[in-house]
Structure 1
């Protein structure tokens, strides 16, 4: 057959075909609109979401940096500053601790010096506002309202002065009159008093010490593998006391990047399946037309150009429509829907969606590529059909055209046969719907697991922990028993409080002995002290009371949690009876392999005759068990009954309080009212899970709202994908359905068959989502789980989505079938076959 090279005629045919087949082409147009809308909306909202996640991490870290180093020498600092991969470095220096003020005798606040780079550049993104100037004189401080309130100095402002007692690096307790040179608010260490460089120089601290220096590193790169991080740490030649910690952004940058790529790939797969399925249905329904074109001299190359020109016209219009629709949804509808659902951004204002020009280009490119890839096989099918085949073409019945008499009820069997008749088409429908549901599942799980309520943790998941701050004073004469049995009873009687867990405390000494005590002290000095253990070993042997420590008693109800923190199997009966104990590790490099078979002997402080010996059963790193103060010897943890038998007058160091309803604001207010009304209110401190959650929510800003928006878009995409596909499928089957009605199928039977078909598709997509989709979700979640939050599948959103998807899968075929019937009677529709 001779080719007719008439491109203009083909272009005119493409345009006329579009005008004359508006119904079919409208479905193709809508599928392209939906694909570009999907990509644009997901990329726009996704970029906004992860920008806000980055902002959240900056706020939670208190600054914009990628790693922090504890203690830094001049050589290490010079090496980092000369490293081309490091954009900037900043120093924070612990310069002392305020222990009291003129209004409060139990203050616990750090004095911190920040160098200009750290304060003006690294920490600036985490601040909301600053008034005044950073301290320059040795008696000036920069504070927050919270720091002043916790120090009993509420109401003071810039220019006011106060007197405070602080302890310097040499252990001296000094008093100074401070002037407030500035105030700030935002995120980070808000209970600290920021001091001048002059104060730091006089403090007796040095940034080379791990107890003092906090060297912040901001890398000039987005991705740094774990191997590169380890190589960088090794290049610094760290001392035993030094450590480098990477932030979540840098530490998990590569896994997060691959997780995002996976989500983007699944989104592109949804777009590809949508376009491919619609084009496949459109071309297969028009095979006779393309075959007959060849009888009048059109070559395969010209047919290929005809279809591609049609796709170009539809693609350009569809991409433009998708971009406009995506912009409207992302910037107008989405924030309104989120507010309609009752979700508020609070202090952060309206939901903020940002537009990146690269998103437009990426959407156009990916949509064009998807149209090209999705149309390749349908175009090949149109070109390959011969005129003879086209004249007698009927839709394929699958690989085996023979009909068998089946068993079971007729209508369910017909519905199943229809699903299995073209397995590839059915697979595309199920996979496309499951892909959208899987991405929805993944994002919903990420939102639920990374929500403030999930990532905020507390000891034993208590709602609030109350501590007796007088026990932190170095002079035992100033210790007072504030959490008495009467006060604890009053806490238990607060409506909404379900349980109170007291932690019993007593002072002890650990006499020297060559086996365990010597090993512990050697490691402690190497880790935390600037002098060798040998300098003070003789004093420890002679006067162990100069090296005091504490013993803590936990209740039987708290034992299971202690067991979890130890990470080894504890003998409950042995522990509760006082034969074994657990030690607080205090950051030392000791393991149970080092302490296997060893025992620790404790003596009552001030009474060396009263001693107890315990087998060391485990080590814990749980900071809750560090006690009011850390001694050189270990903190020993036993059962509360043992402490009461061993120590004549033990006191409650702190109490964990759990509410009947988690995050109950009314119960929390009643508990706080009881604490604040106490005559010893200034000597209490507390850690509230509710307050921590609110702080995290404030740091997250609109991140959760934008994430919900992405999930809503994905849910809509999955539904519209199915609607487009099933509508086109039923339009293609209208001849078959008309014939079935002509041989006696009633409307009720037809509707039942369509409902069952929808249920088969819904069931298949839900099963695929619950298996492969859940596996992919878990893998992506673990790669992006930089906060080590537990994997939590949101049950009710998924149940709601499953019910809704099932309803859609049932309702759309019914609606499409009803629309088909309205086109005419059975006789009229059969005549058109």
Structure 2
């Protein structure tokens, strides 16, 4: 047989078919445009979101680094500097601390030396501005306005001098005069005073000590597996006291990457289902046309070629239109919508959307692949249609469905005679009649809702209000800083009963949780005390325990320790921080205690059940023995100072009955309405009006939230943009699908109208169908969608925020989707009726 090249004819037929079936092809074009728009927008806005996520972490960390090593020896430093996988490594050295200034005698500010790499490269992205120069002389210092204010030195500037009480690396209290050589602002530890290398060398501190040296590493890799991290730790040959910590985004880089891939995969699934469903409906509506083509000699291969040509024309135009629309929405419309809603943090600045050239290539490639895979099976179905099938085909009916529906309707009418039940059954039969199509519609809608649910849940979890978490959820923690002074004679009892009563009377204050404190000694004994001190010296001290064991045995008062007392109301929280179960009554009665672990490598099995003997500091004859019920890592219980013996946590009633000299070290405050600015101002006024106001400091959850919001920049706004796009995608997806579905059923609906179905009955039937689709989609979202959301959430939950589904976004989504599912079929059905009479619509089958 001679070959017949009919490609030009098929191309001409494809163009002609697109023009003649403009309604159906317009829906198909919109579907492709929507799929491309969806992919382009998600990639563009998603990349921007993760850029902001990266910026947030840089700001929260105070610099652009991936890991920090505590203590650094020369061999480790050389290894890191020659490692090709480490792009830069910077050092900071804690070179003592400032204890007092001319304006405040309760200052707590570190003196830090930063090398050139850390200051110029690692820290630079976290700074907003720098004035002056970094210190070079021993008496020069670089500060922030906030640091000066906290140190009681407000108003000073570059060139000014001030005198401080400074403790060096040997614990010696010295008087130092500093000159301000420069100032900066941005993110990080803004209370610190940055000093020169000459100052560090004279301080008696050494970067090889874990209490001094911090070695910040930046890797070339964006993603590092847990195995690679462990290999690096092993290769560093860390000492007993050393530790290498990875930042949150590097430590969770692989799970975050997989979580992002999961979101992209579900987005691609939405696009695939959209194109597949519309193509499936298009082929179903053209069964007679494809059958007649075969009667005039067109082969199945030629029909597939015809459909591919049609999809080529529509796909090219749709992808181009989708990318242009996505660019307009992502770069122009979306920022404007967000700003018009008033959703912009004052410190965040303008909403910036990033556009990457690779997004264009990736969108086009994925769209083309989605079009190909989505149209492949419908094209195969069209090629398999026989002329006999086409001759007897009626759109909207499965084989035997019409007869079965008629028989069932008669049965139903005879049985109940209720019109309402008949419409419900007709709607349900329509869902069941073409299970594949119904499943695709439900899965498509559920996929969009699942991605929306996942993104909104992630946004809520990464919100400033969620990230910020104080001890017990306290809104404010007030601290007596005088108790941190080395000289006990300078300690003052500031958080008195009178002050606490005034605090409780402040409008808006709901709860007050005082933390009692007293000094104790822990006499040597061969079991627990010996084990604890050996581990403490190995972990934190530069001299061996053997050199001081005898002194500890004979003079335990030289090794002071701290006892902490908590209220009965705080016991449930303490229990949450302890691995073992604590008997409440034994703890409150003073039979048991909890030990603060202090980062020692001791396990609960080694410690729990042992006895610890405590003596009143200065009165060794007054002793009490407690059985250890557990260990906690909660830093809140560390106390104003940390001794070498353990910090012992007991009930406040037991502490007050045991120690003559005790006071309240800090107090946690909860507001009736969290983050209430008016209540916080009332509490701060009470502190400022106190004659000893300079002896207080505080940690505010409200202030922390503002700092996090500032660090996040436009992250929240961009995330809201992603949610808006996904909501739009879900709606348009359903609109396209249902519109195409009703158009393919126009003959069936016209026949029902011809036998007496009113417009009201048709609308009620279509609304019922829409509600069935909504119910099925909600069921899929609440099961499979929620499971995927949880998996993605946990993979990206580096801050260990508890998984909570955001209630109001979910309620809003449910109400909106229900309204859309019920309303769109009615609108589409009414539009179909306006296009012609019943006879015309029946003939148009």
Q: TM-score range by the shorter chain?
A: over 0.9
Q: Deviations over 1:740-784 (max 9, x none)?
A: 111111212111110110000000000100000000000011011
The reply on whether 1:543 has 2:555 as its aligned counterpart is yes
Q: Deviations over 1:661-715 (max 9, x none)?
A: 0100111111112112222111101000111111011101110110111011111
1:801-812 to structure 2, matched below 5 A, reads 801-812=813-824
1:819 aligned residue: 831
The reply on whether 1:159 has 2:171 as its aligned counterpart is no
- Gap change, CA 1:400 and 1:201, over 3 Å in 2: farther
Q: CA deviation at 1:320?
A: 1.3
User: Counterpart of 2:347 in 1: which secondary structure?
Assistant: helix
User: Counterpart of 1:424 in 2: which secondary structure?
Assistant: helix
Give the whole-Å Cα distance in 1 for the aligned partners of 2:816 and 2:32.
24
Q: CA deviation at 1:150?
A: 0.8
- Gap change, CA 1:290 and 1:399, over 3 Å in 2: closer
Normalised by the length of structure 1, the TM-score is 0.98
Q: CA deviation at 1:400?
A: 6.5
Q: Deviations over 1:701-746 (max 9, x none)?
A: 1101101110111111011000000000001101000101111112
1:531 aligned residue: 543
2:450 aligned residue: 438
Q: CA deviation at 1:388?
A: 2.8
Give the whole-Å Cα distance in 2 for the aligned partners of 1:431 and 1:831.
33
1:328 aligned residue: 328
User: Counterpart of 1:69 in 2: which secondary structure?
Assistant: strand
1:742 aligned residue: 754
1:668 aligned residue: 680
1:239 aligned residue: 239
1:270 aligned residue: 270
1:12 aligned residue: 12
Match of 2:488 among 476, 483, 487: 476
Task: Identify which range, 366-375 or 400-409, moves more after superposition.
Answer: 400-409
Give the whole-Å Cα distance in 1 for the aligned partners of 2:661 and 2:157.
43
2:644 aligned residue: 632
Q: Deviations over 1:157-194 (max 9, x none)?
A: 11111001111111111111001111111111111111
1:712-727 to structure 2, matched below 5 A, reads 712-727=724-739
Judge conservation of contact 1:4–1:297 (CA < 8 Å) in 2: no
Judge conservation of contact 2:348–2:712 (CA < 8 Å) in 1: no
The reply on whether 1:102 has 2:102 as its aligned counterpart is yes
1:385 aligned residue: 385
Q: Deviations over 1:23-44 (max 9, x none)?
A: 1110001001100000000000
Q: CA deviation at 1:382?
A: 1.5
Q: CA deviation at 1:9?
A: 2.1
Match of 2:513 among 497, 501, 506: 501
Judge conservation of contact 1:4–1:299 (CA < 8 Å) in 2: no
Q: CA deviation at 1:396?
A: 6.6
1:606 aligned residue: 618
Q: CA deviation at 1:370?
A: 0.6
Give the whole-Å Cα distance in 1 for the aligned partners of 2:118 and 2:276.
54
Q: CA deviation at 1:307?
A: 1.5
1:279 aligned residue: 279
1:562 aligned residue: 574
Q: Deviations over 1:266-285 (max 9, x none)?
A: 00000000001001111121
2:149 aligned residue: 149
1:169 aligned residue: 169
Give the whole-Å Cα distance in 2 for the aligned partners of 1:26 and 1:119.
59
1:119 aligned residue: 119
Give the whole-Å Cα distance in 2 for the aligned partners of 1:806 and 1:229.
48
Q: CA deviation at 1:2?
A: 8.1
Q: CA deviation at 1:792?
A: 1.4
Judge conservation of contact 2:484–2:641 (CA < 8 Å) in 1: yes
Task: Identify which range, 380-389 or 597-606, moves more after superposition.
Answer: 380-389
User: Counterpart of 2:664 in 1: which secondary structure?
Assistant: strand
Judge conservation of contact 1:2–1:297 (CA < 8 Å) in 2: no
1:752-767 to structure 2, matched below 5 A, reads 752-767=764-779
1:254 aligned residue: 254
Q: CA deviation at 1:394?
A: 2.5
1:214 aligned residue: 214
User: Counterpart of 2:307 in 1: which secondary structure?
Assistant: helix
Judge conservation of contact 2:395–2:747 (CA < 8 Å) in 1: no
Give the whole-Å Cα distance in 2 for the aligned partners of 1:595 and 1:25.
75
2:473 aligned residue: 461
Judge conservation of contact 2:509–2:679 (CA < 8 Å) in 1: yes
Task: Identify which range, 823-832 or 251-260, moves more after superposition.
Answer: 823-832
Give the whole-Å Cα distance in 1 for the aligned partners of 2:177 and 2:400.
94
Give the whole-Å Cα distance in 2 for the aligned partners of 1:569 and 1:283.
66
The reply on whether 1:337 has 2:349 as its aligned counterpart is no
Q: Deviations over 1:83-123 (max 9, x none)?
A: 11111111111100100111111110101111000110011
Give the whole-Å Cα distance in 2 for the aligned partners of 1:518 and 1:298.
94
1:656 aligned residue: 668
Q: Deviations over 1:378-430 (max 9, x none)?
A: 11112122223222223474476562536572111110000010000000000
Give the whole-Å Cα distance in 1 for the aligned partners of 2:461 and 2:832.
45
Structure 1, unpaired ranges of 5+: none
The reply on whether 1:644 has 2:656 as its aligned counterpart is yes
User: Counterpart of 1:630 in 2: which secondary structure?
Assistant: coil
Q: CA deviation at 1:340?
A: 2.7
Judge conservation of contact 1:285–1:395 (CA < 8 Å) in 2: yes
The reply on whether 1:89 has 2:89 as its aligned counterpart is yes
Give the whole-Å Cα distance in 1 for the aligned partners of 2:841 and 2:629.
83
Aligned length: 833
Q: CA deviation at 1:205?
A: 0.8
Task: Identify which range, 678-687 or 759-768, moves more after superposition.
Answer: 678-687
Give the whole-Å Cα distance in 2 for the aligned partners of 1:597 and 1:398.
74
Q: Deviations over 1:627-669 (max 9, x none)?
A: 0000111111111111111111311100000000010011111
Judge conservation of contact 1:3–1:297 (CA < 8 Å) in 2: no
Judge conservation of contact 2:598–2:633 (CA < 8 Å) in 1: yes
Judge conservation of contact 1:398–1:423 (CA < 8 Å) in 2: no
Structure 2, unpaired ranges of 5+: none
2:36 aligned residue: 36
Judge conservation of contact 1:3–1:299 (CA < 8 Å) in 2: no
- Gap change, CA 1:635 and 1:561, over 3 Å in 2: same
Match of 2:529 among 499, 513, 517: 517
- Gap change, CA 1:737 and 1:397, over 3 Å in 2: closer
Q: CA deviation at 1:831?
A: 4.1
Give the whole-Å Cα distance in 2 for the aligned partners of 1:489 and 1:137.
50
Q: CA deviation at 1:568?
A: 1.6
User: Counterpart of 2:149 in 1: which secondary structure?
Assistant: helix
- Gap change, CA 1:399 and 1:684, over 3 Å in 2: farther
User: Counterpart of 1:245 in 2: which secondary structure?
Assistant: strand
Give the whole-Å Cα distance in 2 for the aligned partners of 1:676 and 1:343.
34
Give the whole-Å Cα distance in 2 for the aligned partners of 1:399 and 1:198.
90
Judge conservation of contact 1:3–1:298 (CA < 8 Å) in 2: no
Q: Deviations over 1:343-391 (max 9, x none)?
A: 1131221211110010011111111111111111111112122223222
Give the whole-Å Cα distance in 2 for the aligned partners of 1:472 and 1:399.
85
Give the whole-Å Cα distance in 2 for the aligned partners of 1:399 and 1:282.
18
Q: CA deviation at 1:299?
A: 2.7
Match of 1:591 among 585, 591, 603: 603
